Structure 1
Amino acid sequence: MFDIDHWREIFQSINKNKLRTILSGFTIAFAIMLFTILFGIGNGLRNTFQSQFAGDSMYSIYLWASKTTKPYKGLQSGRPIQLRNDDIDFIIDNYDSKLSGITPKIDKRLQAVYKGEQDTYQVTAVYPDVQKMEQAEIESGRFISLLDLQQRNKVVSIGRLVEQDLFGQLSALGKNITIDGISYKVIGTFSDPGGSNDERIIYAPFTTIQRLYGNTDELGSVTLSYNPNLNVNQAISFSNNLTKALKEKHGVAPSDQGAIRLFNMAEVNRDTSNFMLVLNLIILFIGIGTLIAGIIGISNIMVYIVRERTKELGIRKALGATPRSIISMIMMESILITAIAGYVGLLIGTGVLKSLGTSLEQYFITNPSVNTGVVIGATIILIIAGTIAGYLPAKRAARIKPIDALNDN
């Protein structure tokens, strides 16, 4: 295999038959290129789905209330439903084993001021569990704590971009900012994988905001996360039962779809998984078809190559070449061409994906790329196919008698 003369003969054969080599290589390179692009586009679609929910726990359930759309038990339609603190207690008391976290929320757009800098941000009153639900990462200090809730402390945890806007290069930790005319101490800063919008949020203790704005037990919405041990169907069943129980608690008709609203990420997970399964099967089917076309192409070319070189092989045998050396030479040439062409196809395919880049985002394809290992695996399959394709006709050619080979037309 590492005989210099043997490899010299292989390169001489390739150089002597440039057109044949180019045709063989083109078939393989095109198959790998198409395979790479298809899988890259599939990964781009997967990235788009994942980015839509970046920063939100895949186990989250969002709950809010509106007006009734149907009369029920003597009550008229159009009646506003208000979620309150006792709804949180109700959910915890009845579904604690199904939960891994829960927080009520009150959202407000308020002006924040630090010395000469000011801007308007979303101020959200929450429980500490929201950090896990939003996948927020602490950059400095800490997040809202249970003690802050109990003592109704005037403290806030601010997003990375809020700190950047108001404090520039300075650290916000430990400093006081004024929000809607009220002073709060910054106890921490955080980053969020959801992007710039989620990093321009200011989190405050729920009890503090509830007391300062209305001093009632009303809340805006509820976010909870279900137990990760629940499968998708169990999680959906849980949210359906929760909706039914809350409707009964608030005197809402079971068929009323407007009064108590709930969005369960489990349904998104299920739908996304089903879509990606179908998409992957389609891409796999097309990819396999492409590889089969490449295998057929290289097989046909190798049969033609051996047939074309019958006289040459006869001369080699007449000069003392063994059948094994003839078979080895043809197979190594096949492997060399397949490997190089496969690598070229990989480079072209990844180059096309990179050049398209952001231009595909309008088609919901984000950062199209492909796992190099997958493409290498496909190339290895073609190399094996090329080896087999070269071996069978080479073995037949190695058996031919030199006189018959020389008389071949």
Structure 2
Amino acid sequence: MDLLLSTLQSLRAHALRFTLTSLGIVWGAFLLTFLTASMRGTEQHFTRELEEVGPKVVVLWPGSVLENRVGQRGARPVVLEREDVERLRSLRSIENASPDLKIWSQIVRAKGRTKLFAINGVGPEAGEIRNLRPAQGRFVSGLDVERNARVAFLGAVAAERLFGAAPAIGRRIQIESISFDVIGVAEAKHDQMIGVNGWDDWIVFVPWTAAQRWLLHSDEIMQISFAPLNRDASRSTIRETREILALHHDFAPDLDTALSYFD
């Protein structure tokens, strides 16, 4: 009883200090809860944005092989071939792979409008790898690739800038004076934080063989995009791709300058 009375007297004597201390504890607990929730929300937002690029996408592009004690003057470029795509597909750790040819700032005309867009030459596998879902029409097909077909799949913004609110399917566009028929329009990705070759909403996608024949006039494979079977095992999958490409292009698998990756 005496202890209780003593405690009450102490609280009365130090009421202000007790009140401020209590408020500090409550405020600290509130801030901790708020920051934890904010961090979790931010993490979920970044995860969603990364999955917009492609849930498991990895992109590789070639570099150069530096000979010992020679330096840049003796550098040998690594030139990717269409067979390299098949080599990657043969790996058990890879779900699928596609050539990924980027062509920046091309003049695209349609319906009296002239715009600048990036062009991507891709295969049908890129639709799933890079999360390119059709809102209208269809994506690039294997037959389109086989025939070097001059067809185009438009990002959402590209379609709106070229055709406004009018339907784009079946219309014709010109890429650097070469005619392509629109076969599909992608679902909008909106505020995409990360892009493989720019923001997907602003890209015009064509069959990679058509890009080589009609736009690049070259057999070069600039990049390869692929999806590992297991996203958590992407590091080991990248190591396997280095090993198989090193074998066919004559460089050491651990040579960092030979291949680069976006993971």
Q: Could you tell me the TM-score, scaled by structure 1's length?
A: 0.52
Instruction: Return the structure number with greater strand share.
Output: 2
| Partner residue, 1:56 | 53
| Partner residue, 1:181 | 177
| Partner residue, 2:95 | 100
Q: Is the 8 A contact 1:121 1:200 kept in 2?
A: yes
CA deviation vs aligned residue, 1:310-332 (integer Å, no higher than 9, x gap): xxxxxxxxxxxxxxxxxxxxxxx
Query: Alignment partner for residue 88 of structure 1, among 85, 88, 106?
Result: 85
Distance in 1 between residues matched to 2:33 and 2:155, nearest whole Å: 39
SS, match of residue 144 in structure 1? coil
Gaps of 5+ in 1: 1-18, 266-409
Q: Is the 8 A contact 1:99 1:224 kept in 2?
A: yes
SS, match of residue 53 in structure 1? helix
**How far apart are residue 136 of structure 1 and its match?**
2.1
Query: Alignment partner for residue 62 of structure 2, among 57, 65, 71?
Result: 65
Distance in 1 between residues matched to 2:180 and 2:207, nearest whole Å: 11
Q: What amino acid maps onto 1:126 in structure 2?
A: V
SS, match of residue 221 in structure 2? coil
Alpha-carbon RMSD: 2.8
Distance in 2 between residues matched to 1:103 and 1:199, nearest whole Å: 19
Q: What amino acid maps onto 1:218 in structure 2?
A: E
| Partner residue, 2:6 | none
- Structure ID, larger Rg: 1
1:130 to 2:126 alignment = yes
Structure 1 residues 253 and 26: alpha-carbon distance in aligned structure 2, compared to 1, 3 A threshold: closer
Q: What amino acid maps onto 1:40 in structure 2?
A: A
Using the TM superposition, name which of 181-190 and 40-49 deviates more.
40-49
Q: Is the 8 A contact 2:111 2:163 kept in 1?
A: no
CA deviation vs aligned residue, 1:22-62 (integer Å, no higher than 9, x gap): x6995785365324322233225414643662422242221
**How far apart are residue 90 of structure 1 and its match?**
2.1
| Partner residue, 1:36 | 33
After superposition, residues 1-400 of structure 1 pair within 5 angstroms as 30=27, 33-47=30-44, 49-50=46-47, 53-71=50-68, 77-93=74-90, 95=91, 97-109=92-104, 110-193=106-189, 195=191, 197-213=199-215, 215-228=217-230, 232=232, 234-263=233-262, 265=263
Q: Is the 8 A contact 2:64 2:75 kept in 1?
A: yes
**How far apart are residue 179 of structure 1 and its match?**
0.9
Distance in 1 between residues matched to 2:253 and 2:147, nearest whole Å: 39
**How far apart are residue 87 of structure 1 and its match?**
1.1
SS, match of residue 99 in structure 2? strand
Gaps of 5+ in 2: 1-14, 193-198
Using the TM superposition, name which of 147-156 and 187-196 deviates more.
187-196
CA deviation vs aligned residue, 1:206-230 (integer Å, no higher than 9, x gap): 11111224554321110000113xx
SS, match of residue 46 in structure 1? helix
Q: Could you tell me the TM-score, scaled by structure 2's length?
A: 0.79
SS, match of residue 86 in structure 1? helix
Q: Is the 8 A contact 2:55 2:130 kept in 1?
A: no
Distance in 1 between residues matched to 2:252 and 2:190, nearest whole Å: 36
Structure 1 residues 170 and 26: alpha-carbon distance in aligned structure 2, compared to 1, 3 A threshold: same
